[in-house]
Amino acid sequence: MTDNHTTKHPLTLLGLGDMGTALARTWLAAGHPLTVWNRTAAKAGALAADGATVAADPAGAVAANGLVVLCLLDDASIDDVLKDVDLTGRDLVNLTTGTPAEGRARAAWAAERGARFVDGGIMATPTMIGVPEAGGYVFYSGSRALFDTHRAALEVPAGARFVGEDPGHAALHDVALLSAMYGMFAGISHAYALIEGEDIAPNDLAPLLSEWLGAMGFFVGNAGERLTSRDLTTGVVSNLAMQVAASGTLLRTAGEQGVSAELIAPYLDLMRRRLDADPAAHGGEDTVGAIALLRSGVRTPQGASSHSFLPCGRTKRP
Ligand code: FVH
């Protein structure tokens, strides 16, 4: 502990799971006076030894400081912890993973209780917390005034990126990035399954996969540009008609290797449906056009809704 606690930013943390504990350690190491509470009290023991004040209950923890950070399992657990607690005048920062709708509802809930609110989406694992070179950060959205007031404390565990005053947008950014990550995990899993039982070592495929995924990373920016310009055809180098034809090879190879295509088939199917909707219109696109079918939520070539932000050709509802 440092001698200059009074110049530091006192705060309360509710939730001492793996992530909450990692957060707590960074605030304590930086000399911020920290009050903690956890449903299972034993998890607070090591932090108490490092200087944290352990509150007896959530009400006591919330009363201790103006800034109250939540790092609980899910949105429902927030109700369990805070349903009977006076939040008047508190600044709530919710680092519990949730949906955009949960973030917006939680902001309204906090306002009804006289609290300012910011929602957060943590883009880091516990081991990346307090390790700036690991590159972890947190998306924040909601009250800009709250964020500006507490920014210095919030930047202690990891970088802070404010993404707007819509309290749903931190979760939306979080889930968008996580969804892309799981898509990548799915492709990698399929690739390793394909070589299993062959004379190809996973450790030999690994650098090839990394290199290839890095090279294909251009698709992120390419898709962003096309979604913005709505130009799906200029400069396309691997057109949809060719990619759909080639996708049969991927599916046959999965069959030959005895591997389920369940992880890659949905995306290949989406490409095919986009092409089938209007081969002349969509054959010269790349795969960005398939996003229009996702927005429709309808699994037919005619199913894209009028809400789509992409030109859909004949994919709009008749
Ligand atoms: N760990 C990770 O890699 C990810 C990284 C990205 C962000 N997530 C989210 O962070 C939230 C907390 O995650 P965590 O890793 O700390 O999760 P756990 O170790 O499982 O700890 C959960 C804490 O929540 C408490 N809790 C659960 N249910 C209740 C309840 N009904 N009432 C009160 N507290 C509850 C639990 O208490 P206890 O089991 O120790 O008594 C823990 O403190 C989460 O949203 C991740 O999605 C982590």
**Does residue 130 have its Cβ closer than 6 Å to ligand 1?**
no
Domain-wise residue ranges, the chain: 4-172, 217-318
Mean pLDDT computed over 211-223:
97
| Contact assessment for residue 34 and residue 24, using Cβ atoms and an 8 Å cutoff | yes
pLDDT at position 8: 86
Ligand 1 center from residue 20 Cα (angstroms):
7
Structure tokens at 247: 């996708």
**Does residue 148 have its Cβ closer than 6 Å to ligand 1?**
no
Quick: pLDDT tens for 64-107. 999 999 999 999 999 999 999 999 999 999 999 999 999 999 99
Of how many residues is the chain composed? 318
d(CA 179, CA 192): 20
Region of 315 please: left (phi>0), alpha (psi -120 to 50) or beta.
alpha
Quick: pLDDT tens for 230-255. 999 999 999 999 999 999 999 999 99
Strand order through the sheet with 159-162? 53-54, 34-37, 11-14, 67-70, 91-94, 116-123, 137-142, 159-162
d(CA 80, CA 71): 13
H helix intervals, 216-239: 218-229
> For ligand 1, what atom is nearest to the CA of residue 43?
40
**Does residue 125 have its Cβ closer than 6 Å to ligand 1?**
yes
Instruction: Tell me: pLDDT of 297 over 90.
Output: no
**Does residue 80 have its Cβ closer than 6 Å to ligand 1?**
yes
> For ligand 1, what atom is nearest to the CA of residue 74?
45
Quick: pLDDT tens for 117-136. 999 999 999 999 999 999 99
| Contact assessment for residue 94 and residue 143, using Cβ atoms and an 8 Å cutoff | no
b/e 126-151 (16+ beta carbons within 10 angstroms → b) = bebbbeeeeebbbbbbbbeebbebbe
Contacts for 8 with CB less than 8 Å, ≥ 6 apart: 2, 30, 31, 32, 33
Quick: pLDDT tens for 303-315. 333 344 444 433 3
Mean pLDDT computed over 221-231:
96
> For ligand 1, what atom is nearest to the CA of residue 20?
16
Mean pLDDT computed over 171-194:
98
**Does residue 73 have its Cβ closer than 6 Å to ligand 1?**
yes
**Does residue 24 have its Cβ closer than 6 Å to ligand 1?**
no
Instruction: Tell me: pLDDT of 272 over 90.
Output: yes
**Does residue 58 have its Cβ closer than 6 Å to ligand 1?**
no
**Does CATH number 3.40.50.720 belong to domain 4-172?**
yes
Ligand 1 center from residue 19 Cα (angstroms):
7
Considering the four listed CATH numbers 3.90.1150.10, 3.20.20.70, 1.10.1060.10, 1.10.1040.10, the one that applies to the domain covering 217-318 is: 1.10.1040.10
- What interhelical angle do 240-257 and 265-277 show, nearest 10? 150
